[in-house]
Amino acid sequence: MSTRSSLLMRDMVAFGKKLKARQIQEWQGYYINYKLMKKKVKQYAHQIEVGTLERRHVLKDFSRMLDNQIEKIVLFLLEQQGLLASKLAKLREQHDALEQQPEISQITELREGYRVVGYDLLKLLYFVEMNAIGLRKILKKFDKRFRYRFTDYYVKSRANHPYSQLQQVFKHVGLGAVVGAVSRNLHELQDCQGSYLSIYDPPALPLQDPVVDSIKAAVDRLTHSTNFLNFMAQHALIMQEELPAPAEEQIDEERYHYVSLLLNLANTFLYMVNTYIIVPTADNYSMSLGAAATVCGIVIGAMAVAQVFSSVYFSAWSNRSYFRPLVFSSIVLFVGNAMYALAYDLNSLTMLLLGRLFCGFGSARAVNRRYISDCVPLKIRMQASAGFVSASALGMACGPALAGILQINFKIYKLTFNAMTLPGWVMAVAWLVYLIWLWFSFKEPSRDVEENNSPHASDSETAEKNTLEKGLKQPLLITSEEQQEDDEDAEADGSEEVSQESRRPATSIASAYRLLTPSVKVQLLIYFMLKYAMEILLSESSVVTTYYFSWSTSTVAVFLASLGLTVLPVNIVVGSYISNMFEDRQILLASEIMVCVGILLSFHVIIPYSVPQYVCSGLIMFVSAEVLEGVNLSLLSRVMSSRLSRGTYNGGLLSTEAGTIARVIADATITMAGFLGQSQLLNITLLPSLLICVISIAATCFTYNSLY
């Protein structure tokens, strides 16, 4: 059996066991009959194989079965909501009576009554959550077994129908009113010390009641909506569990420290600023040291070269600590930037390159990702992941903008401060200030909790993060090896040791690579392509625009900053609107084609080469690549093996390495093309971008057509 098939089979077994273990005993008959539906899918496959059943009859019969299962769930849900409503109505009568003649003992009793209803509501929310995940799992299983996009049809045909019962499950219609009633009445009954504010008045008084906190956490988990925040969070490739145990949620709370999270995000922001702050001036700096302008490719790329190695050791280091690698990162980046700035007065190109290498060795993005994945509570992990992506985007825009501002020239003793050295000095000071803040404010998470609860660290399932409002879209690419086996067969054939082995994280880059299916490899190729194209555009912008348009450093800085500022607005549009209108696969392919169009329009085939042509083609290429990156990582986060969600060699590391290697090759291409002269630089560097883009489009189309 293939590795991928084993992983899929193990995931289904794990969910089946979890569903059975977490069912409320007295409600067992009202849960989705997951075991029956699994057997039915296997039966369908056998009947189609022997020719006793047609595909259209399978679709009709399975749709009817799903409708019946959902109706059973919804009718029970409505019945339980009615019981809760009756209890709340009786409590309201008691509440009204107490307003006339308040007594402390009766108020305490009434509050306890509302808490009891709150715990009943919490049970009902867990019931809905288990069934929602069960439906999503069985739909995904059906799609993969029959190579048919049944999920899209089923959800879209029932999501907005006036008689649809699907929304009762996935939008928990009516439960919000019960949540509001419990929260509001408990708020009114707490001691407000004469305040007339309610939960509806800003600022509302905090409600200190554990049951309300638990209800809010359950609602947060249950509310999976297709929105900008979810779309942004998936950029970070930070995976989370679908069904965390209450004990695991408590572990998250114990390990979480808000200021430490801010420090991680600040590290992400500063590193991206550090990466791009030298781009507008790297060519001038190279020429001032006696090198060609195109050596800027090596200068810019040196940081990426070092990052290829630093990503691995920082990822491994984060298994033991978060504080020490961040301290090391800050010190190395301080030294690297100081060396970069001193290279001018020392007239040393070697010092310049060593400074950039040191900066790359300080790349702690792997630590930043791991901290969010391991130490941020589930209820705010999506916000933290979106913050990670936003900090990166903001840093990318601020770097060139800051370089455009630093257009001054003076000397202090023997040190020169000008447009070329100031980026190094400014970043050195910034990392020194950050190091001081880190030293006094960062709180190292407790490792005892993690060690005593190893399932949280290594046995987690990959979070799908796709939602039913978004159409429960299945992965982009599925291989023929992904034939599903019956879960009971898996349990019979596999021992406990095999099960544990299948859950362990990858132990090397090679073992991680073996876990990649062809679908994931194609998506990593797409990621490589877009990073290569973006790096070519950004890194050679100063040389190209100086040669063709005689742009100043400030003009180049404004252009690059403007490109960086498009990241967040583009993701808002895609995450909030476009992703709701089209399938991810469609957006992916369209974005690849638009990147290709942008590359084609960038070629110098018309004389003279105009500013509108360069700016428009660059904007098309950059914006399309940003859209492509978001959708591609969103899909990648769903189909990545669960064994790559933890450990040193995780999915985030693989994607980072793919992007970093692309940047290294792109920067090397710029420098090598420079030997042919600046007049040939643009077209020579665009040719590999075009070739890789065409290959990625062909790979996407070939796999898509072979499956559908």
Looking at the DSSP bridge assignments, the partners of residue 415 are 412
Higher per-residue confidence, 56 vs 323: 323
How confident is residue 666, by pLDDT bands cut at 50, 70 and 90? very high
Q: Which amino acid, residue 602?
A: S
pLDDT for residue 305 is more than 50: yes
Residue 217 is predicted with a pLDDT of 65
The radius of gyration of the chain's CA atoms, rounded to the nearest angstrom, is 28
| Nearby residues of 53 by Cβ (< 8 Å), 6 or more positions away | 44, 47
Beta pairing, strands 410-412 & 415-417: antiparallel
pLDDT of residue 647: 65
Residue 256: closest CA among 376, 371, 372: 376
Residue predicted with more confidence, 67 or 607 = 67
Is the pLDDT reported for residue 398 higher than 50? yes
Measured distance CA(393)–CA(568) in Å, rounded = 7
pLDDT computed for residue 163 by the predictor: 64
The pLDDT of residue 516: 78
Of the ranges 13-27, 350-364, 503-517, 561-575, which one carries the lowest mean pLDDT score? 13-27
Q: Give the position of tokens 């936003």.
A: 390
Question: What is the separation of C-alpha 34 from the centre of its chain, rounded to a whole number of angstroms?
Answer: 29
Bond preceding residue 203 cis, omega within 30 of 0: yes
Of 657, 351, 627, 622, the closest CA to residue 506 belongs to 657
The string of DSSP letters for 568-618 reads HHHHHHIIIIIHHHS-HHHHHHHHHHHHHHHHHHHS--SSSPPHHHHHHHH
Q: Where does the pLDDT of residue 222 fall: very low under 50, low under 70, confident under 90, or very high at 90 and above?
A: low
Portion of the chain with pLDDT greater than 70, in percent? 70
Structure-block tokens of residue 692: 């890789």
Q: Is 347 left (phi over 0), alpha (psi -120 to 50) or beta?
A: left
Minimum mean pLDDT among 470-474, 571-575, 686-690: which range?
470-474
Three-state secondary structure call for residue 54:
coil
| Whole-number Å distance between alpha carbons of 526 and 297 | 22
User: Residue 249: how many CB atoms within 10 A of its CB?
Assistant: 18
Sign, CA dihedral 70-73-79-85, equals negative
Do 458 and 646 contact (CB within 8 A), yes or no? yes
Which residue, among 243, 311, 675, has the nearest Cα to 462 in the 3D structure?
243
* Residue 136 clears pLDDT 90, i.e. is over it: no
Handedness of CA 424, 430, 433, 437 (dihedral sign): negative
pLDDT band at 493 (very low <50, low <70, confident <90, very high): very low
- Please indicate whether residue 68 or residue 473 has the higher confidence score (pLDDT): 68
Report the alpha-carbon distance of residue 149 to residue 185 in Å, rounded: 46
Question: Of 241, 251, 5, whose CA–CA distance to 133 is shortest?
Answer: 241
Who's near 335: CB < 8 A, 6+ residues apart? 358
Residue (of 156, 152, 179) closest to 166 by Cα position: 156
Give the 3-state secondary structure of residue 415.
strand
Lowest pLDDT segment from 311-315, 481-485, 589-593, 677-681 = 481-485
pLDDT score recorded for residue 486: 39
> What does DSSP assign to residue 410?
E
Does residue 356 sit in helix, strand or coil? helix
State the average pLDDT over residues 205-214: 58
| Of residues 328 and 470, more confidently modeled | 328
What pLDDT shows up at residue 372?
A: 85
Q: What is the mean pLDDT of the chain?
A: 76
Q: Residue 360 in contact with residue 300, Cβ under 8 Å?
A: no
- What are residue 468's phi and psi, to 5 degrees? -75, -25
Average pLDDT over residues 459-476: 31
Rounded Cα distance, 93 and 90, in Å: 5
Please state the φ and ψ torsions of residue 583, each to the nearest 5 degrees. -70, 155
Separation of alpha carbons 248 and 456, rounded Å: 7
Token duo for residue 478: 């599925």
321 burial via Cβ count (<10 Å: 0-12, 13-18, 19+):
middle
Q: Residues 203-210: what's their mean pLDDT? A: 51
pLDDT at 566: 87
Could you give phi then psi for residue 410, rounded to 5 degrees?
A: -160, 170
Nearest-angstrom CA–CA distance, 389 and 634 = 13
CA distance 562 to 400: 9
User: How far apart are alpha carbons 155 and 602 in whole angstroms?
Assistant: 42
Mean pLDDT of 190-209: 47
Q: Residues 166-176: what's their mean pLDDT?
A: 61
Distance CA 473, CA 230 (A): 14
The pLDDT, as a whole number, for residue 487 is 41
Peptide bond before 455: cis, by omega within 30 degrees of 0?
no
pLDDT of residue 482: 35
Spell 633-645 as b/e; 16+ CB within 10 A means b: bbbbbbbbbbbbb
CB 265 within 8 A of CB 388: yes
Which pair of tokens denotes residue 270? Answer: 């500063």
pLDDT tier, 422 (very low <50, low <70, confident <90, very high otherwise)? very high
Helix or strand or coil: residue 225?
coil
pLDDT range class, residue 327, cuts 50, 70, 90? very high
For residue 164, name the pLDDT band (cuts at 50, 70, 90): low
Give the pLDDT mean for 595-611: 91
From residue 64, how far is each of 37, 60, 71, 93 by CA, in Å? 12, 6, 10, 43
Domains and CATH numbers, the chain: 14-193+209-239 (1.20.1050), 257-444+515-703 (1.20.1250.20)
Geometric angle at alpha carbon 674, from 672 and 676, rounded to 5°: 95
Most confident of 91-95, 235-239, 247-251, 472-476: 91-95
Read off the pLDDT band of 470 (50, 70, 90).
very low
**SS3 (DSSP) at 412:** strand
Main-chain dihedrals φ then ψ at residue 59, nearest 5 degrees:
-60, -40
Q: What is the mean pLDDT of residues 193-216?
A: 51
| 104 band by pLDDT with thresholds 50, 70 and 90 | confident
Task: Evaluate if residue 176 carries a pLDDT over 70.
Answer: no
Q: Please state the length of the chain.
A: 708
Average of pLDDT values for 617-632?
89
Give 191's contacts (C-beta < 8 A, 6+ positions apart): none
